[in-house]
Amino acid sequence: ANASRIFKTVCRDWIFLALLGFIMASLSFGMDYAILNLQNAQMLLYDWVIDIHILLSLLVWVGYVVGLTVASALFAHYIAQQAIGSGIPEMKTILRGVILKEYLTVRTLISKMIGLTLSLGSGLPMGKEGPFVHIASVVAAQLSRLVHGSSSGIFENETRSAEMLAAGCAVGVACTFSAPIGGVLFSIEVTSVYFAVRNYWRGFFAATCSATLFRILRMFSISDSVTVEAHYQTNFPPQNTFLLQELPIFALIGLICGLLGSAFVYIHRRTVLFLRRNSIAKKMFQKYWIIYPIVIATFISSLSFPQGLGQFMGGQERFSHTMTEFFMNCTWTAENGASSACLTENGTSSWGDKFDIHHWKGPNMAYSPFITLACFQTVYFFLAILASTLPVPSGIFMPVFVLGAAFGRLVGEGVYQMFPDGMNDDAGFEIRPGVYAVVGAAAFCGAVTHTVSVAVIVFELTGQLCTLLPVMIAVLIANAIASYLQPSIYDSIIRIKNLPYLPDIPHTSSLYHEMRLEQFMITPVVFIAKDSSLADVRQAIESKPKVRAFPLVDSLDSLALVGSVSRSQLQRLIDARIGTKARYAEATRRI
């Protein structure tokens, strides 16, 4: 009976984690499906009315986005306001031991799921990774209650719940990108301070279960001949992906991404604080809070209108889909007909990429991709920040990822223009702007989130490891720079929201081992000797009005420290000997 009991309880852990993985895979799959259909519906509607009148199509385009955004905001507002925003900062707080119970209820779960589906369906520049971490954590917490029985609290154990929540976070990230390894590492980096290595396997196990089911579901739904593929599979040749001569450029991308990432975090914080502190904004949020999402959604969606400004920034594609285009193997700015061009002479793209270069060159190939890419980045840099201030569930990771990829692609195309035949004389060593896009995406994300493991996520997303060296170099440099300039976006939000948090443990850099007392001691030292006169004592306490205790030395000659005397004691002593009372007492005695 005892053996079976042990077996049962051991298995329970495994079953719990497997269940967590499976549930999250199903939820993720279902939501992906709904989001994709909502986004496609907008395109269909748009295509349908485009022939009638351009103004009507603008109205439909903007109306659709505003409608979904408002629906999402209303949902989040009336069901559970805890669903608003990313969720990672809150999970970080919870995993550090603060109890925020209302963040882990079924009500929050429902609000977050439906809200997220609506807000992402609108096509605004938002991500789903933060909300997914939140959703997975709620599922883990609720499942924990179910599997480990009863809400009576008798079997509850803080460490244990924290472990399960951590597994939840890992599954959340892993689901978003179907990146089981990177997801686990990312969630550790983002939420933990000290990590218990013995719990390492939990996250991996749950994430692997989730990835397995997710791919099975995808196989049956797409019914493609391709069984298993990465989210944004790239097709770089594994041997000659880059030359070592290009490494300094990748390092430079890391440097710039570090600076841009810090700027992103800084501007995000200033924007949010402005909206919170400005009296007009405050009033608006309290009384007519629904106006804000309407205004912002209208603004963002009209900017991205494909017939309008959208044509300068790849507006035909939904924001999150542009990623695939940035990672394309072909070179956007290569001359038509060149071997690496996206539009070769027979009208197809080189290397079999399914990609319409018109998205980035305009319908008549009139614009340079340099201009559209620069527009895209500048505009979405601010739009992503604006979108993240909306009162709907939204993540920050994906927009940052896309922005980084756009920046990398821009640099890569520039380098290609400088070295159209590659840096080496041999054939097959062309500059590949797609590699630069991958590097840029990883570096910018690394800078904003202060994580190294984003590199692993990128490898799993692209399904290729040949970009390992450039990505690692750029991510590390971006990280180093960003962490000296700004907190991570999640820590920044924790401070904005005044969530309780433990201060960071400072790095044990050599700094502390180099500092000496003489650098901050007060000189000259004021001290009192056993043979000091009362005048000396008085002068000492008057010369240093802020010092609360004085060192006491054996004699003025030896200066050997024997102890310390507090100011108040000295004061009392002096008062007793030469103060008003003392003098009065002395006086009466003489009478």
Q: 195 or 288, CB closer to a second copy?
A: 195
Q: 229 or 554, CB closer to a second copy?
A: 229
The answer to whether residue 502 forms part of the interface with a second copy (CB under 8 A) is no
Q: How far is the CB of 236 from a second copy (least distance, A)?
A: 11
Q: 49 or 452, CB closer to a second copy?
A: 452
Q: What is the token pair recorded at 362?
A: 């305009």
The CA distance from 22 to 25, in Å, is: 5
The CA distance from 202 to 5, in Å, is: 21
Per-residue contact string for residues 425-464; x = within reach of a second copy by CB under 8 A: -x-------------------------x--xx--xx--xx
The answer to whether residue 507 forms part of the interface with a second copy (CB under 8 A) is yes
**What phi and psi, each to the nearest 5 degrees, are found at residue 538?**
-60, -45
Q: How far is the CB of 131 from a second copy (least distance, A)?
A: 23
Per-residue contact string for residues 515-554; x = within reach of a second copy by CB under 8 A: ----------------------------------------
Taking CA atoms, 434 is separated from 314, 326, 441, 474, in Å, by: 17, 6, 11, 15
Among 78, 153, 198, 518, binds a second copy (CB under 8 A): 198
Among 19, 371, 468, 485, binds a second copy (CB under 8 A): 468
Q: How far is the CB of 205 from a second copy (least distance, A)?
A: 5
Taking CA atoms, 586 is separated from 122, 480, 537, 538, in Å, by: 91, 71, 21, 20
Q: 163 or 317, CB closer to a second copy?
A: 163
Q: 21 or 369, CB closer to a second copy?
A: 21
**What phi and psi, each to the nearest 5 degrees, are found at residue 24?**
-65, -35
Nearest to 331 by CA among 263, 441, 412: 412
Three-state SS at 315? coil
The CA distance from 275 to 294, in Å, is: 16
Among the residue ranges 55-63, 81-89, 298-306, 502-510, the one whose residues contact a second copy (CB under 8 A): 502-510
The CA distance from 401 to 481, in Å, is: 18
Residue type, 300: I
The answer to whether residue 194 forms part of the interface with a second copy (CB under 8 A) is yes
Q: How far is the CB of 214 from a second copy (least distance, A)?
A: 10
Q: What is the token pair recorded at 79?
A: 């069901």
Q: Is there a cis peptide before residue 524, judged by omega within 30 degrees of 0? A: yes
Q: What is the token pair recorded at 158?
A: 């803080």
Checking DSSP bridges between strand 561-566 and strand 528-529, what pairing results, if any?
unpaired
Q: What is the token pair recorded at 295?
A: 């205004």
Q: 146 or 582, CB closer to a second copy?
A: 146
Q: 187 or 333, CB closer to a second copy?
A: 187
The answer to whether residue 200 forms part of the interface with a second copy (CB under 8 A) is yes
The answer to whether residue 150 forms part of the interface with a second copy (CB under 8 A) is no
Checking DSSP bridges between strand 528-529 and strand 549-553, what pairing results, if any?
parallel
The answer to whether residue 587 forms part of the interface with a second copy (CB under 8 A) is no
The answer to whether residue 3 forms part of the interface with a second copy (CB under 8 A) is no
Q: 6 or 562, CB closer to a second copy?
A: 6
**What phi and psi, each to the nearest 5 degrees, are found at residue 252?**
-65, -40
For residue 584, how many other CB atoms are within 10 A of its CB? 10
Among 145, 215, 358, 538, binds a second copy (CB under 8 A): 215
Among the residue ranges 12-20, 252-260, 495-503, 578-586, the one whose residues contact a second copy (CB under 8 A): 12-20
Among 34, 45, 143, 219, binds a second copy (CB under 8 A): 219
CA atoms within 13 A on the CB side of 480: 9
Q: 123 or 203, CB closer to a second copy?
A: 203
The CA distance from 170 to 272, in Å, is: 28
Q: Which of residues 294-333 bind a second copy (CB under 8 A)?
A: none
The answer to whether residue 192 forms part of the interface with a second copy (CB under 8 A) is yes
Among 26, 105, 229, 292, binds a second copy (CB under 8 A): 229
Q: How far is the CB of 561 from a second copy (least distance, A)?
A: 21
Q: How far is the CB of 563 from a second copy (least distance, A)?
A: 26
The answer to whether residue 159 forms part of the interface with a second copy (CB under 8 A) is yes
The CA distance from 78 to 280, in Å, is: 24
In a 10 Å sphere around its CB, with 0-12 CB exposed, 13-18 middle and 19+ buried, how is residue 291 labelled? Answer: exposed
Q: How far is the CB of 279 from a second copy (least distance, A)?
A: 39
Q: 311 or 464, CB closer to a second copy?
A: 464
Taking CA atoms, 276 is separated from 3, 196, 282, in Å, by: 59, 38, 6
Among 160, 276, 495, 577, binds a second copy (CB under 8 A): 160
**What phi and psi, each to the nearest 5 degrees, are found at residue 384?**
-65, -40
Q: 389 or 467, CB closer to a second copy?
A: 467
Nearest to 182 by CA among 471, 395, 390: 471
Nearest to 92 by CA among 492, 391, 506, 507: 492
Among 5, 287, 546, 589, binds a second copy (CB under 8 A): 5
Given a contact cutoff of 8 angstroms between Cβ atoms, the answer to whether 122 and 432 are in contact is no
The answer to whether residue 48 forms part of the interface with a second copy (CB under 8 A) is no
Q: 216 or 309, CB closer to a second copy?
A: 216
Among 120, 126, 185, 528, binds a second copy (CB under 8 A): 185
Q: How far is the CB of 346 from a second copy (least distance, A)?
A: 24
Given a contact cutoff of 8 angstroms between Cβ atoms, the answer to whether 16 and 202 are in contact is no
Q: How far is the CB of 144 from a second copy (least distance, A)?
A: 10
The CA distance from 308 to 34, in Å, is: 27
Q: How far is the CB of 490 from a second copy (least distance, A)?
A: 13
Q: 78 or 194, CB closer to a second copy?
A: 194
Given a contact cutoff of 8 angstroms between Cβ atoms, the answer to whether 332 and 409 are in contact is yes
The answer to whether residue 505 forms part of the interface with a second copy (CB under 8 A) is yes
The answer to whether residue 345 forms part of the interface with a second copy (CB under 8 A) is no
Rounded (10°) CA dihedral 405, 457, 135, 479: -70
How many chain residues bind a second copy (CB under 8 A)? 77
Q: Which of residues 246-265 bind a second copy (CB under 8 A)?
A: 247
